[in-house]
A and B are shown apart, each in its own frame.
Chain A
Amino acid sequence: MAETALQLLLNGVFVGLTLSLIASGLSLVYGVMNIVNFAHGEFLMLAMYATLVLYQRAGLDPLAALPLTVLLLFGLGRLTYGALVRRVLGAPAHAQIFGTFGLMIALQGAAQFVWGADYYAIPTSSVAGRLVLGRLVVGLPQLAAGLGALGGMVALWLLLERTRLGRALRATAQDRDAAALLGIDTDRMYGLAWGLGAACVAVSGTLLATHYYIFPRVGAVFTLVAFAAVALGGFGSIPGAFVAGLVIGLVEVTAGYLASSVLKYVFAYAIYLLVVIVRPQGLLGRW
């Protein structure tokens, strides 16, 4: 029983960490410019396909492909900002929602057009295999994804809290006009936020590709939960997204074992509801 509990705890942490990083990217974009990126999951999906293509065409291991996919998605995030989001910045909120929602549908459609509706998976990678500690089992792909997510979040946090660039980004988030008055190129900051947001899911996507299936709507599997994690942790808060991701991961896995698999998200969303009622700004939200 104790082993089972510990095993569940481990599984929950790994599921949670991946979720945390996905939520961090979402939270960052929202925190900086108050726009919800509905196409966030599709960035995740594209990162997974990019990893697959690099594996199939160039024989590149997912870990080796990681820097490439991060760069690629960073570029794609910035491009999305420049080509789409910038145009709806001053527009009413529903125009912004339709903009990214439309992008989501377009990207899903494009992926299905290019790769078809088939399920793909990467058969093996340098992190394939598992670690057996007594009766505990740790999947190396899951471990890699968890550590990668942790690394990504720490890097993002350091960037935001410890660098000039991060300070400029935060200043833009707090007050765009004041930041512009002080000579910060807020347009560039917005682009950067989108690039960083997409880079977050590039890390998650690439590492998920080692053990998850890949298909045009795979992003939706993760983003709905990631949205809940963002709201649970507090909009715009990276540590909040981290904690919320872990909470949801643990609740999901434990409820799936003890109660019922079908109801596991009910428990996760119930906690989210409770937090929203008791503490509307989220666990670690500032406003």
Chain B
Amino acid sequence: MRRWRMRVLAPLGLLALLGAGGPAAAQEVKIGAIYPLSGQVAKSGEDTLNAIRLAVEIVNGRFDLALPLARTEGLPRLGGARVKLVASDHQGSPEIGAAEAERLITRERVAALIGAFHSSVAATSSQVAERYGVPYITGESEATNLTERGFRWFFRTTPSSAVQARDYFEFLADLVKRGRAKVKTIAIIHENTLWGEEFARSARKYFADYPQFTLVADVAYANGTTDLTSEVQRLVTARPDVVLHACYDAEAILLARTYKLLGFAPPGTLAHGAAFVSSRFREALKDDADYFLVREHWSRDLAGKKPIIKSVSDLYRQRYGKDMDGTPARAFTATMVLLEAIDRAGSTQPEAIRKALAGTNLAADQIIMPWPGIRFDEKGQNVMSRGIFVQTQHQTPRLVWPFEAAAADLVWPRPAWK
């Protein structure tokens, strides 16, 4: 019995020793990416994953870019190890996301996970990572509670929904203060999964901090509905000065068309998430895509002050045939943060990577975001984020706020539909 046990355990022990061997032995560092690659938001999933692919390509190859790890091949402190991306499709399902996280960790033996677009999927898949003690980073899953769970292994570079929702009120208050707009009543329309609900909940809370604004309608809808006329009818009846949206691509197209149909043109149409400025939205609606305002994380107009933004978005366009927008830019940033941390850790040991991530301190000029930098608090939340507002004018999204950085004049109130 004992001999049998020795026979089995000795080689295993040897294997474990080999596995823990020096960092220079690493040839390849596997990163698991969990994204929706089929189903309702497959388009956004693909765009986001493409940005991650681009980040990996930049790290693996030699690029003359002012980004960490760009000018060297692979991860220098891991003996030039290449990063290998293992992509997996969660189909928008939290259950599949958790199962895929499990598979990536136990079968593919990834060093870290990145995901998951949907906050609902990030919630379940990061739970698996937490259980196995594998670092998990998200660049675009925004639900506030993700970083409120007391997780050790979860990191988020993007601002949470709660922080973002405040930006709308700051923006509107600033417009009112400068006499650029008269805003009293606000309506909210949002999709009813975690992301939309979270935004609406956060926004509702800020009405107490900004008593000059009143909430006059709050409409939730389910994704994949055949028709949104009754929802818009409720907005029409409420006559708001501003409508806040939290919608995905399909309903964004449907809503814009229904607004036009019913002649609904409130002075301000503000949106959370990139759906209302996405390239497909603009191509589908042409002139009707104009004047929607989106609180963005990112804009190519920022390239005027930060040339690296142009270089990276040009690469993205060359490779994937469409313009980068805020979500891919953030996923790109999260990937760079993760890889920079792995390199700094000089190891693929989970604990070493986790420590390196927690110690991340990137400056404004090392990232493609308009943020003062990236630094995580004890919850794993980046505390250095900042929002900007973009408005589509002549079918092109232009940076209009903050006014100091604006590339175009804000159009307010929104003109009537043509």
CB < 8 Å: which of B37, B42, B230 contacts A253?
B230
Answer whether A261 and B280 are a contact pair too, CB < 8 Å, given A11-B227, A213-B250, A253-B229.
no
Bound-state Cα–Cα, A225 to B226, Å: 9
Say yes or no: A7 contacts B227, CB within 8 Å. no
Chain B residues with CB under 8 Å of A215's CB are 43, 250
Q: Chain B's nearest CB lies how many Å from the CB of A262?
A: 5
One digit per residue, 1 when the CB lies within 8 angstroms of any chain B CB and 0 when it does not, for chain A 87-118 equals 00000000000000000000000001000111
Bound-state Cα–Cα, A254 to B231, Å: 10
- Segment touching A, from B169-177, B178-186, B253-261, B386-394: B253-261
One digit per residue, 1 when the CB lies within 8 angstroms of any chain B CB and 0 when it does not, for chain A 202-245 equals 00000000011101110011100100000000000000000000
One digit per residue, 1 when the CB lies within 8 angstroms of any chain B CB and 0 when it does not, for chain A 252-287 equals 111111001110110000000000000000000000
Answer whether A112 and B38 are a contact pair too, CB < 8 Å, given A137-B261, A212-B254, A221-B224.
yes
Q: Chain B's nearest CB lies how many Å from the CB of A223?
A: 10
Answer whether A119 and B192 are a contact pair too, CB < 8 Å, given A4-B233, A19-B226, A257-B234.
no
Chain B residues with CB under 8 Å of A168's CB are none
Chain A residues with CB under 8 Å of B216's CB are none
For the residues of B in contact with A, the DSSP-based class is helix
Bound-state Cα–Cα, A172 to B374, Å: 71
Say yes or no: B227 contacts A252, CB within 8 Å. yes
Chain A residues with CB under 8 Å of B45's CB are 117
Chain B residues with CB under 8 Å of A257's CB are 230-231, 233-234
Interface centre among A120, A124, A253, A255 (most CB of B within 10 A): A253
CB < 8 Å: which of B220, B225, B250, B261 contacts A142?
B261
B405 at the interface (CB under 8 A from A): no
Answer whether A117 and B261 are a contact pair too, CB < 8 Å, given A123-B285, A123-B286, A257-B230.
no
B106 at the interface (CB under 8 A from A): no
Answer whether A117 and B250 are a contact pair too, CB < 8 Å, given A11-B229, A257-B230, A260-B220.
no
Say yes or no: B42 contacts A112, CB within 8 Å. yes
One digit per residue, 1 when the CB lies within 8 angstroms of any chain B CB and 0 when it does not, for chain A 1-43 equals 0001001100100010001000000000000000000000000
One digit per residue, 1 when the CB lies within 8 angstroms of any chain A CB and 0 when it does not, for chain B 232-259 equals 0110010000000000011001100100
B24 at the interface (CB under 8 A from A): no
Bound-state Cα–Cα, A7 to B283, Å: 30
A121 at the interface (CB under 8 A from B): yes
Q: Chain A's nearest CB lies how many Å from the CB of B4?
A: 48
B66 at the interface (CB under 8 A from A): no
Chain B residues with CB under 8 Å of A4's CB are 233, 237
A82 at the interface (CB under 8 A from B): no
Say yes or no: A252 contacts B226, CB within 8 Å. yes
Say yes or no: A7 contacts B233, CB within 8 Å. yes
Q: Chain B's nearest CB lies how many Å from the CB of A259?
A: 10
Answer whether A121 and B38 are a contact pair too, CB < 8 Å, given A116-B43, A256-B230, A257-B234.
no
One digit per residue, 1 when the CB lies within 8 angstroms of any chain B CB and 0 when it does not, for chain A 136-161 equals 01010010000000000000000000
Bound-state Cα–Cα, A168 to B37, Å: 47
A130 at the interface (CB under 8 A from B): yes
Chain B residues with CB under 8 Å of A19's CB are 226
Bound-state Cα–Cα, A112 to B36, Å: 13
CB < 8 Å: which of B40, B192, B224 contacts A262?
B192
B10 at the interface (CB under 8 A from A): no
Query: Nearest chain-B residue to A142 (Cβ)?
Result: B261
Chain B residues with CB under 8 Å of A8's CB are 229-230, 233
Bound-state Cα–Cα, A116 to B37, Å: 10
Bound-state Cα–Cα, A256 to B226, Å: 12
Chain B residues with CB under 8 Å of A116's CB are 43, 46
B262 at the interface (CB under 8 A from A): yes
Q: Chain B's nearest CB lies how many Å from the CB of A78?
A: 28
One digit per residue, 1 when the CB lies within 8 angstroms of any chain A CB and 0 when it does not, for chain B 30-49 equals 00000001111011011000
Answer whether A213 and B231 are a contact pair too, CB < 8 Å, given A15-B226, A137-B261.
no
Give the residues from 5 to 27 in chain B that come closer than 8 angstroms, CB to CB, to chain A.
none
Bound-state Cα–Cα, A124 to B289, Å: 13
Answer whether A119 and B226 are a contact pair too, CB < 8 Å, given A130-B261, A261-B221.
no
CB < 8 Å: which of B38, B233, B237, B283 contacts A117?
B38
Bound-state Cα–Cα, A116 to B253, Å: 17
Give the residues from 257 to 298 in chain B that come closer than 8 angstroms, CB to CB, to chain A.
257, 260-263, 280-281, 283-286
Say yes or no: A118 contacts B221, CB within 8 Å. no
Q: Chain B's nearest CB lies how many Å from the CB of A245?
A: 11
Q: Chain A's nearest CB lies how many Å from the CB of B279?
A: 9
Say yes or no: A124 contacts B219, CB within 8 Å. no
B222 at the interface (CB under 8 A from A): yes
Bound-state Cα–Cα, A38 to B234, Å: 34
Q: Chain B's nearest CB lies how many Å from the CB of A171?
A: 35
Say yes or no: A121 contacts B285, CB within 8 Å. yes
Query: Nearest chain-B residue to A210 (Cβ)?
Result: B257
Chain B residues with CB under 8 Å of A216's CB are 42
Say yes or no: A262 contacts B222, CB within 8 Å. yes
One digit per residue, 1 when the CB lies within 8 angstroms of any chain A CB and 0 when it does not, for chain B 203-231 equals 00000000000000001111011111111
Chain A residues with CB under 8 Å of B226's CB are 15, 19, 221-222, 225, 252
Q: Chain B's nearest CB lies how many Å from the CB of A170?
A: 31
Q: Chain A's nearest CB lies how many Å from the CB of B286?
A: 4
Bound-state Cα–Cα, A137 to B417, Å: 14
Chain A residues with CB under 8 Å of B227's CB are 11, 15, 252-253, 256
Query: Nearest chain-A residue to B288 (Cβ)?
Result: A123
Say yes or no: A119 contacts B261, CB within 8 Å. no
Say yes or no: A264 contacts B261, CB within 8 Å. no
Say yes or no: A261 contacts B233, CB within 8 Å. no
Query: Nearest chain-B residue to A213 (Cβ)?
Result: B253
Sample of 17 more A-B contacts, CB < 8 Å, known A124-B286, A256-B221: A11-B230, A11-B233, A112-B38, A116-B43, A119-B43, A120-B280, A120-B283, A121-B253, A123-B285, A137-B261, A211-B257, A252-B226, A253-B227, A256-B230, A261-B219, A261-B221, A261-B230
Instruction: Across the A-B interface, give the 3 residue pairs with the lowest CB-CB distance, nearest first.
Output: A256-B230, A117-B42, A121-B284
| Complex A-B: 22 CB contacts under 8 Å | A11-B227, A11-B230, A11-B233, A116-B43, A119-B43, A130-B261, A137-B261, A142-B261, A211-B257, A212-B254, A213-B253, A215-B250, A217-B40, A221-B225, A252-B230, A253-B229, A261-B220, A261-B221, A261-B225, A261-B228, A261-B230, A264-B225
